[in-house]
Structure formats: C-alpha cells, structure tokens
A and B are shown apart, each in its own frame.
Chain A
Amino acid sequence: MSDDLAASADLTTGGDRTPASASVVDRLLGWADDRLGIAKGSELLDKIFPDHWSFLLGEIALYSFVVLVLTGIYLTLYFVPSTKDVIYHGPYLPLKGKAVSEAYASTLKISFQVRSGLVIRQMHHWAADVFVGSIAVHMMRIFFTGAFRKPREINWLVGVTLLMLAIVNGFLGYSLPYDLVSGAGLRIMYSIVLSIPLVGSYLAFFLFGGSFPGNGVIEPQMFIMHVLILPLVIIALIAVHLGLLVKQKHTQFPGHGATEDNVVGSPLYPVFLAKTLGLFLIVTGILWALGGLVQINPIWQFGPYRPYKVTYAVQPDWYMGWLDGALRIMPSWEATFLGHTIPLEVLLPAVVFPGLTFTLFYAWPFIEAKFTGDRASHNLADLPRHRPKRTAVGAAGVALYFMLFAASSTDVMANFFKVPLNTVLWTFRITVIAVPVAVGLLTYQICRELSAIPVSREPKRPVVILRTEEGGYVMEETPIRPGDGPGEIAPVAVPTRVGIE
C-alpha cells in the first residue's frame, strides 16, 4: 500500500530524482528509469574499449553489415525475384527487344532507371566484399593473439558461423540477378550438390525443382533466404556476439597498466562512441564512394543467363575464389564404387575440403587447449611471436587459402605471362602445398628469434639532464604532458562526474 502511494507520488512529481527544474535530458532519463530501471545498468556507459587499432576490424565488419542491410532493403523495393522471361524495353540499347529474365531486367532497371540505384546496387556489392574481408581479417586477429582461448571459445564459434553465413549469403546475393556469370555459378553449385554420394541427385532436384536449371523455384527461394532468413540469423548471432563481448569484456595487450584483472582504454561514453560513430561514417562513406566510382559486377556486359552460353574468364566473388581454385587444380579422379560413380574431382575440393576447413575452424580452440594442456582463463592477448607454433600454423593456413585463391585465375595468368596453361596448373599443384609449408617453417623460425629479444612495452619518457653547481649531473624526468602517450600515466577508473565548471 505504501509502495503504491510512493509510486503515485513519483508520477505526480515526475520521480524524486527529477524535480521540475531538472534539465530535459534528466527528466527523460528519469521517465525511462521509473519504467525500466535503466539507471541500474548505467555502468555500461563506462565500459572500456581497448585503444589498439586491431580492435577496429570487427567494427568494420559490423558497419559494412549495417550498410548491407540498408542498401539491401533499398534493392528489395525494385528487385523482382523471377526467372520468367520478359522482353527488355529499358534504356540499355544492346539488349532492347531481347528476352531476359525478370530478375535480370529488374537489376538493369535498378542500374539504369532508378536514380542513385546504380550507386546503391554497387555499394551493396562492395559492402558484401568488404564485409567478408573484414570478418576474415578480424578472425586472423583473434587467432594470432589467442583471443579465442578460454573463456571466449563460444564467441569464436559464433564468429566462425558468422563467417560461413556471410559467405553463403554473399553467394546467394551474387546469384540473384541471374546474369550469365552468376547463372554459371549456380550451374556449378548444382553440380557440386549433385556430386554428393547417395543423396546428391535428390538434394539437387529438391533445391532446383528438377534437373538444372529447374522449374524456377530456386530464384524466389534464394531471394527469401538472402533478404530475410539469413540476415535475421546473422543479426541474431551478431547480438549474441556483442552480448558475450560485453559480458566477458575485451582482451587486451599487456603493458600500459593492462593486467588480467582490468581493461584499459577509452570509456564507451563519450570517447569510444565518438570514435566509433566516426568509423561508421568513414566505412559508409568509403563504400558509398566505391559504389559510385568503381564499377563492380556490370551484369549488362555479361548478358542474361542462357544455359548454353558462356563467357570467358568466369570468376566468382573473391571469397569464393579459394573453392574455385581448389576445383581447378584438383586432378580428375573420378572413382567408381560397386557400380556407382563418386566424382572425387568435385567432392574432395568442393565438399570435403570446405567441410574440413570449417570443422577445423570450429575445433581450433579445443585442439589448441588439448595440445598445450592450458585450461586457464586468459584476458591478456598473446603477442604472435610468443606463440611460434600457433603463429606458424596460422601463417601456413593464410598462405594455403591465398594460394588457392590465386589458383582461381590460372587462365588469366597463363594469358598474362604467355605460358602454357599446363605449366601454370602444375606450378599451382606444387606451390599450393610447398608455399604454406615454407611459410609455416619460416614463420616459426622468425617468431623464435623475435621472442628471444626482450621488449619493454613501456615507452620511455623524455628526461632533462642538469649540471649541478658542483659539476655533477642529475637526471630529472619531465612532467607528464598531454600527448606523452597514455603509457605514461597509470589508468584510473572512469570518473562519473568530470566537474567542468
């Protein structure tokens, strides 16, 4: 009863913390707190973000995803997910009067008839490439600094899933316009599914609604996957990813007063917020500028998809390149088994290899813990040089995927260097194994030598050397000045009030 009275008193006075004279912001905060108790969570404003540059990579991924969602919604206003043929009547003359799919025609419309449409479509495509790229580099940072170790294994698993979904959604989006190049990509995907033993032909028929190119169901299905289902899953996983980050807090490099039991850096509000909003605008601005200035995926040059037509130098988006390269350099090893065909030349590079890749990514934190026997929680990041074995494995892995990616342009290289395709092919078959091994060994050696050199992480402050009247010398440290670098002063808790009077 008395509680009720107090509550109604709150209502009439606007709450005891918010006298009528309080500022508008204070009153609004009070209004929300009366109903939601938000003040109890206000330490979140003090959440510390380490200042190291490598922590930006994940943010870049996040912001390119925001751009993907915003530009993607814009594209859905005009895009028609249908492979039904229509006669093209738009302003692009070379195709005038020709039969093209509705999907292709609507992508042309976005490009040529919707104002700013081309910029936004190209921005969407650039954002996809940057999104997957920044996830990959972000993941390398986590790997090489050991940030995946206990207690953060769950967030590593979430991250690997996000990488996979980003690649899948990128492929789906790339396939939507149904131009000659992306249609060939779908053709290849159909055949890869077909190659799976036992269930392949069933899966392929279910997905495509029959023998390739199927009855057209794939287009609307890919569309709904691309614009609704996978984005929702990705959004949910990003929420989990960031929620775990808040709960477990960032890792940080040792030094500058950083220990296992604290986090040193800038507080969320206002310092980090200003910097990260700035980064958001910079990422958006660069993507917008790329969308306007740098042509990407000019589907009108490729023409509409026809299953019997083909263009030269068929290449997928960069993040599919490692699979394409693996398919190219794989020997033609088709096997038969009890009267059944097992297309190993497809199965191994396009199904087993990516399967193993992601299994290894998922399992890495647990594999490493098993090898090192290290079950402790870690909040301080490793310097890569101090973990020669992990760093060597990581560098070899990066080299492997890079070599496979390079192998996806065997034909371009053969033309460019004027060497027979066969030579290029065999060079890649050898180097794809040899280069990672060499890179791994070299990295291991370099790390061992680097880590033998002691480094002090504390920068030296300038000193003044004075001569005394007696002729002796004394050394005096200079006083701390702004700009001396944060290493000079011990970190303190964020003051609640800063007292600017």
Chain B
Amino acid sequence: MTEVTETTEATVVTGNSNDPHLQPASVHPKRTEKVVAAFIVLAAAGFATYGATYWQGGSAQLQGASLGIGLVLLGIALAAWGKYLLPRGPFMEARHPMRSSDEERARMANAVIERGRLVMHRRGFLGKLLAAAGAIMGIVVAFPVIRSLGPLPKKSLDSTDWLPGSYLVTAQGLRVKASDVEVGGIVTVFPVGHVGNAMDQTVLIHASAVPFTTMPGRESWTPEGYVAYSKVCTHLGCPVGLYQHQTQQLLCPCHQSVFNILDGAEPQFGPAPRPLPQLPLYIDTAGYLRSQSGYDQPVGPGFWERS
C-alpha cells in the first residue's frame, strides 16, 4: 500500500496514488468541484455587494447580510474542499505515553533534591529569614495595589444627606409643595443640594387624601397622606420605582421584591430582607414638604458593619 524509504535522518513515506486513503472522500469529485467553485463565486459576489453597500452608506442589515453570507459561503467552500476533495484517510499517528522512563525520573528527582539540599544545608536560619522577608514584601506590595484604589468606608454608609428640615426637591431641582402631587401620585425626591444622589434617592407618594399611620410611633410622619421611603432596595440597591396605587405596593424591578407602603414598607414578597426606611415628613407654613430628620437607619442593602 505504501512504500517506506529509510533515509539517514527522517523517514519519508511515499503514498501510492492508487491507495484508497489518498482518494478524495467525494464519490463524484468533479461534481463537488463545481459546487465548491459556485460557492466561491457567490462568496465573491457577497463581498462585492458589501463593498457597494458600504460605499453607499447602506443599512446595517444589508451590510450584515452581504458580508456575512459571503464569509459563510467561502467558509463552506473551504471546508468542503478539505472534507471532500482532499485525501480522505483515515490517517493516524502514534501516541507516546507522557511518563518518562524510570531512569529519567530518578535523574530528575536526584538533581532537584540533591541540589536543593545544597542550598539549605546548615542554612535553615537563612531560609527562615528569607521566608519572613518574603512575607513582609508580599503584604506591603498589596498596599499600593489595593488600598490606593479608593477611600475607606468609615461611617459613610450609615447615614444619608437628609437633615432635619431638608426640602424635598425633584430630579429637576424643584422644591415639592404639598399641593403638587395628586393622590396616587409618586415623585422621586432628593434633599436640596443633592439632586441625583444614589443613596439619598427617596420616593414621595401621595398615598391617600387623609393622614394615616404606617407603624406605631410614626403617627406624625405622614402629613396629609404623604409618605416617603428610601428608594434604594434593601436587597441589592436597585431603585424601587414601580408604584401601584390600588394595592399600595412598591415593586423593585430587579428581583421583584414587593413592599407594602401602608405598613412601613414591610417586604411582602421576594428576596428583600428588610423594610425600606421611612423618611419622617412635615409640611412647613409655606406649604413645602420637608423632612423632620434624616433616616433612622442605614438605607439600602445589608453589609457587615450595619447593626
């Protein structure tokens, strides 16, 4: 089938052209050749179409179709050439075990262990010093890599910018008056001077026409039926932006936590573990909505230092 010629260095194997291994896999190579030729021509046409489309500033769809189809056709042509027109084999090669001979392994082990001993022989103390110095280096190198990145949290997660008497302002920077929001309406508000702040964001809801109480001890927090909660979901901090007036629920779109605004935003559903903190409100003599104080607890998701 095959004839092997031994030369001095490499083995040259000459295949015999009648060898079935060297026949194309295609039963009708001439026909296959024609199909491959057609694909190559069509591919070229696709490329040309893309060129023209680009030139004309054509749509993304046309660009995608023309060049994409061209590439796929050329790819099919090449793959078919390889699969059907080249020697079909099967060919094989020998595999050699990864493991070396026992002698080679012994030689390696001896070299590593013996020479290693040479280094540490009667110098154990030096070795310990080296390890200690290495450890110190490892630790201090981490400083510039990690510590330089950002500030320390300190107490900044515990409080927001809401202060006693803060005006409630909208994302457009307008102060909200008690007459501004209809019953069933919702506005996102910030303490004046901190518009857009991620931690301060608060939903102001005109939940009912009359004052109501969300929890014992919060009787005065909801003047004229206005109630305000932190907008930062206690699960992972998404803005809790979807309010349903009929059910008096706030929904977080990220993982579907649902909070009941009538009973202190207690989570009714979903993964959020805690109620949304409530902002105590009052209406000043000029009719503006203002906060009695800041939040009485950290807002947003849980973290280790939160007590």
Contact = CB atoms under 8 A, between A and B. Distances in A.
Interface of A: 43, 46-48, 51, 115-116, 118-119, 122, 151, 184, 187-188, 190-192, 194-202, 204-215, 217, 247-249, 256-258, 260-267, 270-275, 277-293, 306-314, 324, 327-334, 339-343, 345-346, 377, 379, 410-411, 421-422, 425, 480-483, 486, 489, 491-501
Given A267-B89, A274-B78, A332-B235, 11 more contacts: A206-B146, A209-B150, A249-B93, A256-B90, A261-B95, A262-B95, A293-B61, A334-B274, A341-B303, A341-B307, A492-B92
A483 B26 contact: yes
Interface residues of B, number: 102
A248 B12 contact: no
8 smallest CB-CB distances across A and B, nearest first, come from: A292-B64, A289-B68, A285-B71, A278-B79, A274-B82, A281-B75, A495-B15, A278-B78
Contacts of B75: 277-285
Given A211-B198, A278-B76, A280-B75, A480 B94 contact: no
6 contacts: A249-B95, A291-B60, A328-B255, A482-B26, A491-B89, A496-B12
A282 B79 contact: yes
A48 B239 contact: no
B205 interface: no
B87 A498 contact: yes
Highest count of chain B CB atoms <10 Å: which of A198, A211, A272, A480: A211
Most chain-A CB neighbours within 10 Å: which of B57, B80, B238, B258? B238
B272 interface: yes
Interface in B53-98: 54, 57, 60-65, 67-83, 86-95, 97-98
B64 A332 contact: no
B150 A278 contact: no
A187 B83 CA distance: 50
User: Which of A205, A258, A481 has the most chain B CB atoms inside 10 A of its CB?
Assistant: A205
Contacts of A270: 82, 86
A314 B149 contact: no
B258 to A, nearest CB: 8
Contacts of A342: 302, 304
Contacts of A267: 89, 91
Contacts of A212: 198-199, 237
Interface string B22-41: 11111100000000000000
A497 B12 contact: yes
A100 to B, nearest CB: 13
B91 A217 contact: no
Contact of B256 (A248, A278, A291, A421): A421
A379 B95 contact: yes
Contact of A421 (B83, B238, B269): B269
B215 interface: no
Nearest to B258: A421
Contacts of B2: 492-493, 495
B116 interface: no
Contacts of B91: 46, 48, 264-267, 491-494
Contacts of B79: 274-275, 278-279, 282
Contacts of B147: 206
Given A281-B74, A498-B22, A194 B303 contact: yes
